[in-house]
Structure formats: C-alpha cells, structure tokens
Amino acid sequence: MKITIVAFDLWGFNQKIVDHLKSKGVEVTFIDSSKLTYVYKNKWQRFKNFLYKIILRKNIKKEYRNRVLFEKTNHLPKQDVVLIVNPSHFNTEILKILKEKTSKFIAYNYDSLARNPLPENYLDLFETVYSFDVEDLKNNTYLKSLTNFNYLEKSIDNNISTKAFIVLLGSLKREKILKKIADNLDKQQIKNYEFIVVEPELTTTNKNIQLSQKTIPLNIIEEKMKNTEILVDLIRENQSGLSFRFFEAMALHKKIITNNKSVMEYDFYNENNILVIDSDFTEIPTSFLSTQYKKIPESIYEKYTLNTWTKTVFGI
C-alpha cells in the first residue's frame, strides 16, 4: 500500500503517523512543508522580501515553499491514499495536483474552521474531511469526527520531579490564564512546576514562567511530561477540539488542568483526573493537587490510540 501525507509538521506529531504506518510495512511518502525553509542570501534580500510583503503582498519564503511543493507533488507516483493535514496551509493548485495522484483524497483539520477554513472547493476536492473540533462537527454535517491520538507507549513508574508542566505557544489570553495558575501554585507554596511559553506576547509575567523564542522539540517535551504529575492544557481561541496533551496524559497516567470545557463530553472524562477551569477561576483545589490519577478502562484507552486512528483513516 502506498500512502502520502502532506502536512506542516512543526511539532512532529504527523511524523508519528508516518513511523507507525512504516512499522506496518506501508510505503509512506511524507511531505513536511515546515522543513521547506528559505535561507536569505544576505541582508538586502531580507529587506527586499519585507518590501515585497508590504507593497506587492508577495512573500519570497512562501513562493519558495510553493515552488518546492509543486516539484515534489508533480513527481509523486500514483498513491492509494493521500492525506492532507490542515489543508488551509496549502495552495489550491497543489491540492488539485495531489488529488490527481490518488483515488482516495482525504483531509484532517486539527484546528477549528474559524482558524483554518477549508478551501472553497473542498466538496469537489476531498472524499472525506475529518475534524477534531466539537463545535465544527455540530455545525457542519459534511465533517466526520476524529480526535487527535495517543502515540506514546503506556507509562511505567517514573521519577516525578515536577508538579505541573506545560509548553505553550504564546497568545495573550492563554498567557494570562497561565499566569493565574502559576500565581495560585505559588500561593499554595508549590514551586516545582515548569511552564514554558514559546514566542510570548506578554513581556512580563510570573517570574517562574520561562519565556522562549525557540520551539521545544517533541522528544524533550515527552521526557519532561514523563517526570511530571500534572499537565496543563490551555485552549486556543475559537477552538474546541482536544489537543494532544489529553492523549499523552492517558499513556503517561497524568492529571490535567485545562480550560477546554468540551473534554467533559468525552467518555474518558473523570473529574478526579481532569480539572476544568475558566478565565475567572480563583483557586486550584488542594484535593485535585494531592490525589492520585485514576486509570481509565482499557476499552476506552484503546479507542484513542494511534493504531485505532490509522485504522479509521487508512483502513489498516
């Protein structure tokens, strides 16, 4: 079986799908547009690109990425399945070329339509469009439900060194809530937490929150999560789908503090394991901080594994 996956894989989650399929003997082509980076030859070229974006609304880096994508897709042989992850990242002409390469052309949006709308001709393009966003699924009958997945092996006993942990891509609303959580943990004399904000919007925050301009590699995040008791997940604005944190927590037997209320609709929700807050919360209960994680039933756990995910999408 030949499968092509096309994605902007900034954090490395789609690579997990590729590796899993290859372990099953599938021939996989992975086109990761996040790796197609343009390098400026000099400062003048960087300045010229700035002028192009302002005056002509052109972007040298995007044009370079599209040229490489056109080349890669044009040379792609016939495939059994082509999966596009978040199709809004890709030029419509590139999507049309990819559609011609397969009889099964499908898409997966693991972002909301408000943030990443589908192409206008999506009904003509895709055989199936999967979505993880609860509100989008309620309002759009053409979407099929598909959550993110648990890609980790089940946890063994770990040496817990950190009470709570999060890596957050900066946004003003989420950073403000994260500061409130940090302030509350400080108030409860809990100091062994690690909160990292990548590309922050706030310039000042709780002194124990680390601000970084560099993306944290997924393997480092995995190691940090293993040695943490509680994970923190803060939802993006205009999104109701579940992030990978919930599924990582299943494998690692970790509790979660989150402001994503939609998690309460899922069969794995347990108030002992998942604390749902809003922006007006005043305090994290000491009972949540002190009690142990309760394992979920095996039948529920299996529903959210990567193995089940690939069976749903690719039939293997």
Domain boundary among 115, 146, 177: 146
pLDDT confidence of residue 155: 77
Range of the domain at 297: 162-303
pLDDT band at 77 (very low <50, low <70, confident <90, very high): very high
Mean pLDDT, residues 53-57: 62
Q: Is 283 exposed, middle or buried (0-12, 13-18, 19+ CB in 10 A)?
A: exposed
CA distance 2 to 223: 33
Share of the chain above pLDDT 70, in %: 92
139 and 177: one domain?
Answer: no
Q: Of residues 43 and 138, which shows the higher confidence score?
A: 138
Mean pLDDT, residues 253-257: 97
pLDDT confidence of residue 159: 76
197-221 pLDDT, tens digit per residue, is 999 999 899 999 999 999 999 999 9
CA distance 207 to 209: 6
Instruction: Identify whether the C-beta of residue 179 lies closer than 8 Å to the C-beta of residue 168.
Output: no
DSSP string, 91-158: -HHHHHHHHTTBS-EEEEE-S-TTTSPPPTTHHHH-SEEEE--HHHHHH-TTEEE----B-SPPP---
Mean pLDDT, residues 72-86: 97
Mean pLDDT, residues 227-251: 95
Residue 155 lies in a domain: no
Residues in Cβ contact with 86 at an 8 Å cutoff, skipping those fewer than 6 apart: 7, 8, 108, 109, 110, 111, 116
CA distance 234 to 198: 14
| Number of domains forming the structure of the chain | 2
135-169 pLDDT, tens digit per residue, is 999 999 999 999 999 999 887 666 789 999 999 99
Q: In the predicted model, what is the mean pLDDT of the chain? A: 92
pTM comes to: 0.90
136 and 228: one domain?
Answer: no
CATH number at residue 54: 3.40.50
122 and 252: one domain?
Answer: no
